[in-house]
């Protein structure tokens, strides 16, 4: 059976040495986030993930959820674990103190979420979706809605969902058919069918707060006629107690490839009472608040499965004795050497390690930009941070989930035949990771968001700022002896990113298909460069700690070595992406549909 150990040491390094989170202690929320408190949170989160959630991961996969008479039962142990989550106050960690939250920086949520997701991704989706519902209501709900729903979402007593997809309408939400009919009391009657609703029905909490996109009768056609509603599973009385069951029910549970422990529901709305969130016909704006945040959380899921898969593959590679080193026996007294003597095994493990640590840095770096975009008193910093967070959100979602999945597959490969057998648990990591490439906007849609929207915003202000930040870093660090191999590779890859960006600017405006044809390559090119930059920042921090004579020198030296591995073996891929981008759309668009 697989195991999981939260990478606490690595989180400490990132938060304290690389991001120096304490430098922001003047900001609201950050003043509380002392080194001591953060360390205590890391330890408690690790304990909860390792001891409570991880043991339920295989159980959840095997049992899945059950639907009987409209009631969904989660796998054995999930209720108890959710209870513990609530008792420990985790849902409140970064929530608004006005509604019972602890008000800590959102960056810390990412730390907690990665641990939870590595330990039990299907479980982690229940509180994860609540947080999305919380955000949409916080930013767009009326005071009454906020007072009614937020305290319960923050405490975790209630959970939340996002309802977008319908059978004929996924990415293209303009095709939506779910109807909202205004009622005399200001509420709406919601009718229609939503599918793929994660955590749509379950037995973990006493109420579920559905955020639902629907079309108000007579609304404009398409995406501009879509509004957002909150539809509780149980209506809420004015004194806050639960009232009648609302007209929403779970029609079926989807049978799916993975995340079996999470209930993926068909939800039928049958004249259910709903309340408008934000303005009429402006539902997409409110929904994007949820989605942007959720996209970072999904990128994190890719990393989370790659991390736990790595940990287990590493253990297997050091324990499994099979064959001999190519250069002669390394452990001649034993019947065979451990797998890890083989360069090809090390290649796979180092691909995983260098990605995981770099992706973790990128996630926290991006999340911190998010915090600064809200909390900095300096308007310029708020703007710059928001630019970078918006730019990098699709990159984090798309690159981290595509890579996280591919690397979970690579970790599974380390096991040989045993990797394919359920008992070893590697298949679950692969199957669970697979969904992250799809939901919250399939990765092709992320790539289009990046090249079609984010690049061009404000005349490319965000991407040019990012390129400039990298150029400065490269210029100041390229003569550093230890960092030079990485920085030189980063210089080449940064130039590839710049060239690709310019190519789009020059070609895609006259033919949008050129942007579409290169979008996925661009997203990965961007992700590679961004993680390369993170290795630069980590290398810098590691050097500085080594210079200070910090204990645990091997930890910092390994950071430098892992960064060099990334530079040597992974970063060179950027050139291939640039070549493909420059090939443009003509060839692929020239095929008649019948010729496929």
Is 333 one of the binding residues for a second copy (CB under 8 A)?
A: no
589 binds a second copy (CB under 8 A): yes
Restricting to residues 389-408, name those near a second copy by CB under 8 A: 405-406
Q: Which of 265, 320, 293, 244 is nearest to 138 (CA)?
A: 293
Q: Using CA atoms, how far apart are residues 75 and 478, in angstroms rounded to an integer?
A: 53
- The distance of closest approach from Cβ of residue 469 to a second copy in the complex, given in angstroms and rounded to an integer, is 26
Residue nearer to a second copy on the CB measure, 378 or 422: 422
State the Cα–Cα distance between residues 277 and 137, nearest whole angstrom: 7
Q: Is 125 in the site for a second copy (CB under 8 A)?
A: no
Q: Does residue 117 sit in helix, strand or coil?
A: helix
Structure-token pair, residue 258: 């993975």
Distance in angstroms (rounded) separating the CA atoms of residues 422 and 414: 15
- Whole-number Å distance between alpha carbons of 452 and 431: 30
- Bridge partners (DSSP) of residue 179 are 191, 215
Cα gap 147→236, rounded to integer Å: 11
Contact pattern from residue 181 through residue 220 relative to a second copy, giving x for each residue in contact according to CB under 8 A and a dash for the rest: --------------xx------------------------
Catalytic-residue membership of 440 = yes
- For 119-224, strand residue ranges (E) read 158-163, 179-182, 188-198, 207-216
The stretch near a second copy (CB under 8 A) out of 108-116, 453-461, 495-503, 571-579 is 571-579
Whichever of 112 and 429 has its CB closer to a second copy, that residue is 429
* Minimum CB distance to a second copy smaller for 381 or for 492: 492
Q: Is 353 in the site for a second copy (CB under 8 A)?
A: yes
Which lies closer to a second copy via its Cβ, residue 71 or residue 175? Answer: 175
Q: From CA 9, how far away is CA 116, in angstroms rounded?
A: 16
Identify which of residues 276 and 571 has a Cβ nearer to a second copy in the complex.
571
Among 201, 293, 384, 440, the one annotated catalytic: 440
* Interactions with a second copy, residue window 248-287 (CB under 8 A): 254-258
Residue 177: which of 188, 187, 190 has the closest Cα?
190
169 belongs to the binding site for a second copy (CB under 8 A): yes
Q: Does 336 bind a second copy (CB under 8 A)?
A: yes
Taking CB under 8 A as the binding criterion, the range among 81-89, 180-188, 209-217, 562-570 that sits at the site for a second copy is: 562-570
For residues 38 and 250, which CB has a smaller minimum distance to a second copy in the complex?
250
DSSP letter string, 520-552: HHHHHHHHHHHHHHHHHHHHHHHHHHHHTT-S-
Q: Judged by CB under 8 A, how many residues of this single chain contact a second copy?
A: 93
- Binding mask 446-475 vs a second copy (x if CB under 8 A, - otherwise)? -xx---x-----------------------
Record the tokens describing residue 188, joined without a space.
């709406």
Q: Is 355 in the site for a second copy (CB under 8 A)?
A: no
* Spatial separation of the C-alpha atoms in residues 524 and 513, rounded to whole Å: 18
Does 551 help bind a second copy (rule: CB under 8 A)? no
Q: Which two tokens stand for residue 255?
A: 């049978």
Query: What is the H or E stretch that residue 248 is in?
Result: strand 248-253
**Binding residues among 407-446 for a second copy as defined by CB under 8 A:** 409, 412-413, 416-423, 427, 430-431, 434-435, 437-439, 442-444
CA dihedral 208, 213, 218, 219 (to 10 degrees): 140
- From the list 347, 475, 544, 552, which residue makes contact with a second copy (rule: CB under 8 A)? 347
Structure tokens of 308? 């736990």
Q: Build a one-symbol-per-residue string for 32-71: x at contacts with a second copy by CB under 8 A, - elsewhere.
A: ----------------------------------------
The secondary structure of 511-527, three-state, reads CHHHHHHHHHHHHHHHH
Kindly tell me which of 39 and 322 has the beta carbon lying closer to a second copy: 322
Min CB(7)–a second copy separation in Å: 13
Report the residue number, 238 or 327, with the smaller CB distance to a second copy: 327
Q: Which of residues 357-376 bind a second copy (CB under 8 A)?
A: none
Interface of this chain with a second copy, residues 499 to 528, rule: CB under 8 A = 511-513, 515-517, 519-520
* Other Cβ atoms within 10 Å of 453 Cβ, number: 12
Task: Give catalytic residue positions.
Answer: 440
């Amino acid at each position: 059976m697989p195991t999981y150990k939260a990478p606490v040491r690595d989180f400490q390094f990132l938060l304290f040495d690389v991001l120096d989170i304490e430098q922001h202690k003047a900001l609201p929320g950050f003043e509380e986030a002392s080194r001591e408190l953060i360390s205590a949170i890391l330890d408690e989160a690790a304990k909860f993930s390792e001891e409570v959630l991880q043991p339920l991961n295989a159980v959840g996969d095997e049992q899945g959820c059950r639907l009987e008479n409209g009631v969904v039962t989660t796998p054995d142990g999930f209720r108890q674990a959710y209870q513990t989550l609530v008792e420990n106050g985790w849902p409140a960690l970064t929530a608004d103190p006005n509604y019972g939250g602890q008000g800590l920086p959102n960056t810390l949520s990412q730390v907690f979420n990665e641990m939870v997701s590595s330990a039990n991704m299907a479980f982690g989706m229940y509180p994860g979706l609540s947080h999305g519902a919380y955000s949409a209501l916080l930013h767009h709900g009326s005071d009454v809605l906020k007072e009614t729903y937020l305290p319960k979402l923050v405490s975790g007593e209630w959970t939340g969902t996002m309802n977008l997809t319908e059978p004929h309408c996924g990415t293209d939400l303009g095709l939506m058919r779910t109807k909202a009919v205004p009622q005399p009391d200001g509420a709406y009657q919601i009718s229609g069918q939503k599918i793929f609703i994660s955590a749509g029905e379950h037995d973990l909490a006493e109420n579920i707060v559905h955020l639902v996109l629907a079309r108000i009768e007579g609304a404009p056609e398409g995406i501009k006629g879509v509004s957002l509603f909150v539809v509780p599973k149980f209506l809420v009385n004015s004194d806050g107690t639960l009232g009648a069951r609302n007209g929403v029910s779970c029609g079926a549970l989807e049978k799916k490839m993975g995340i079996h422990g999470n209930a993926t529901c068909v939800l039928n709305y049958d004249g259910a009472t709903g309340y408008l969130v934000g303005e009429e016909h402006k539902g997409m704006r409110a929904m994007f608040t949820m989605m942007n945040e959720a996209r970072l959380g999904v990128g994190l899921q890719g990393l989370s499965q790659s991390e736990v898969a790595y940990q287990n593959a590493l253990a297997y590679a050091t324990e499994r004795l099979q064959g001999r080193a190519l250069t002669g026996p390394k452990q001649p007294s034993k019947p065979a050497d451990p797998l890890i003597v083989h360069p090809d095994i090390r290649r796979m493990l180092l691909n995983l390690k260098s990605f995981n640590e770099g992706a973790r840095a990128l996630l926290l770096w991006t999340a911190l930009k998010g915090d600064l975009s809200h909390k900095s008193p300096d308007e310029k910093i708020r703007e710059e941070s928001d630019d970078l967070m918006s730019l990098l959100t699709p990159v984090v979602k798309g690159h981290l989930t595509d890579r996280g999945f591919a690397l979970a597959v690579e970790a599974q490969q380390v096991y040989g035949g045993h990797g394919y057998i359920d008992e070893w648990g590697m298949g679950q990591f692969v199957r669970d990771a697979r969904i992250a490439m799809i939901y919250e906007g399939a990765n092709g849609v992320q790539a289009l968001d990046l090249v079609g929207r984010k690049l061009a915003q404000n005349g490319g202000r965000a991407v040019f700022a990012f390129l400039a930040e990298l150029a400065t870093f490269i210029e100041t660090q390229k003569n550093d002896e230890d960092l030079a191999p990485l920085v030189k590779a980063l210089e080449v890859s940064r130039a590839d990113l710049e060239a690709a960006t310019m190519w789009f600017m020059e070609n895609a405006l006259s033919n949008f298909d050129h942007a579409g044809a290169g979008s996925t390559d661009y997203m990965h090119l961007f992700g590679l460069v961004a993680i390369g930059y993170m290795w630069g920042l980590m290398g810098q921090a590691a050097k500085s700690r080594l210079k200070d004579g910090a204990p645990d020198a091997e930890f910092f030296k390994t950071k430098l070595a892992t960064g060099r591995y990334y530079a040597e073996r992974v970063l060179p891929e950027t050139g291939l992406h640039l070549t493909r981008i420059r090939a443009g759309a003509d060839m692929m668009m020239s095929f008649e549909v019948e010729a496929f």
